Structure 1
Amino acid sequence: MKIALVGYGKMGKIIEHLALAKNHEIVAKLSETPTLENLNSPDVVIEFSNPEVAFNNIKFCLEQNIPVICGTTGWLDQKPEIEKIAEENKTAFLYGSNFSLGVNLFFALNEKLAQMMSPFKDYSCQLEEIHHTQKKDAPSGTAISLAEGIIRNSDFNAWKLDETQDENLGIFAIRENEVPGTHSVFYKSEVDEIEIKHTAFNRNGFALGAITAAEWIQGKTGNFTMKDVLELN
């Protein structure tokens, strides 16, 4: 594939290294706004930029009928508009709060556990995420995805940054140096606690997942998630 990287920070550089190892071609490495000239006619765009510019980056690429794989979090209030643009332009858009195979299996496990725990009202639920201090959004997109998975399968109706209270599922967001990403879900009663946890050791899993999604999306139209790529639906 010809891949354009929109956003060339730490993730972009890892994606470049791993994509080249898989014999893909990197035709653009952009830290600036994408244009027809600087994108260099890619087969797919992989977008890992900043919340402030993600919407405009994705919108432009989709309007040029270029499929987009997006891993930027913190802009999701505008996601429905992006999905509409993808449909109108008969191209493809795939958003992932986290592209790691392990995390996407963790998402499925989280939903299953939420279903199992829902009848047992003695247990309270709490989420916790830990990331590096350079992460610009809190809570993480991964934590939000976990929270939404629990909400769909429980009596919670919203999440909030803080301790769980009534129908609001709590998320603690912690920032520490050099932590790629750790996510935990706790169910606690007066007598015991159940915990499931995913710990990323480095960013390679995220990058490989994004490349896998880019390979998978070729020739498709519509809006997708990593569940579609991994056939976890």
Structure 2
Amino acid sequence: MKIALVGYGKMGKEIEGIAISQGHNIVAKLEEKPTKENIKDAEVAIEFSTPNSAYENVKACIEIGIPVVCGTTAWLDKLEDIKKLCKKENGAFIYASNYSLGVNLFFEINKRVAEIMQKYPEYLIHMEEIHHTEKKDAPSGTAITLAEEIIPIYKFDGWKLSYKTENNKLGIEAKRVPNVPGTHKVSYDSEVDKIEIKHIAHSRKGFASGALIAAQWLIGKKGVFTMKDVLGFK
């Protein structure tokens, strides 16, 4: 693949290292907005920038005609606009809050466990996520994705940043600890016992590898996709 990295922070550098080791070519490393000139040699763009830049970066890639894989979180108030633009321009776009294979398997497990546990109201549900102190958004995009799978099953009114679930809102507790790539936990607690499912990331490699898998899958396709499409979960 000929890859443009849009955003060249820690994730961009991690993706670069794995991509080169797999024989791919990094043809652009952008800290600025993509243009026809600076992204012209790319077959696909992988966007990991900042919440303030992501929308304009993805929009530019779609308008230029470059398939784009986006992993930046905390800009999703504009995601529907991007989906409409992608369809209008006959483009190719994937967004995921987390590209790790393990996390996407965890999403599926989380949904199935919630379907089972919802039948037993004596178990109170709660979520917790832990990330490094440099993470800008809280709760994490991954935690929000987990919550969005649970909310319709439990008929919650939504989620809130809290150490407990109350007032029909799913509680998500967000902790920031140095040098933690990402931990997500969903707990079901009763008076007599506690059931937990947990995903612990050991490094950013899982996220980077998954983004490359998604990028390779996206080339040659048209439409708006998710990791469920890439991994065949639909």
SS where residue 38 of structure 2 aligns? helix
Matches within 5 A, 1:157-176: 157-162=157-162, 163-176=164-177
Separation in 2, partners of 1:107, 1:227? 10
Q: CA deviation at 1:35?
A: 1.5
Partner of 2:10: 10
Report the residue type matching 1:168 in the other structure.
Answer: K
Q: Deviations over 1:29-77 (max 9, x none)?
A: 0112221211133111000000001000000110111111000000011
TM-score (norm 1): 0.98
CA contact (8 A) 2:66 2:92 kept: yes
Correspondence list, 1:194-213, <5 A: 194-213=195-214
User: Which residue identity does 1:190 align to in structure 2?
Assistant: E
* Structure 1 gaps, min length 5: none
For the Cα contact (< 8 Å) 1:156–1:168, is it kept in 2? yes
**TM-score, L = length of structure 2:** 0.98
Give the whole-Å Cα distance in 2 for the aligned partners of 1:58 and 1:95: 10
The one-character-per-residue Cα deviations of 1:178-211 (angstroms, maximum 9, x if unpaired) are 0000000001111111100000000000000000
Q: Report the Cα distance in structure 2 between the residues aligned to 1:40 and 1:13, rounded to whole angstroms.
A: 21
2:55 paired with 1:55: yes
The letter for the 2-side match of 1:193 is K
Structure 2 unpaired stretches of 5+: none
Q: Kindly state the Cα deviation for residue 144 of structure 1 after the two structures are TM-superposed.
A: 0.2
SS in 2 for 1:125: strand
Give 1:157 shift: 2.4
1:9 alignment partner AA:
G
1:41 matched to which residue of 2?
Answer: 41
- How many residues are paired up? 233
Please tell me the residue identity of whatever aligns with 2:229: D
Cα distance in 2 for partners of 1:211, 1:61 equals 17
Query: In terms of mean alpha carbon deviation, does 46-55 or 118-127 score higher?
Result: 118-127
CA apart distance, 1:166: 2.8
Q: Aligned Cα RMSD in Å?
A: 0.8
Distance in 2 between the 1:175 and 1:68 partners? Answer: 30
**Off by >2 Å, runs of 4+ in structure 1:** none
Q: Distance in 2 between matches of 1:168 and 1:104?
A: 24
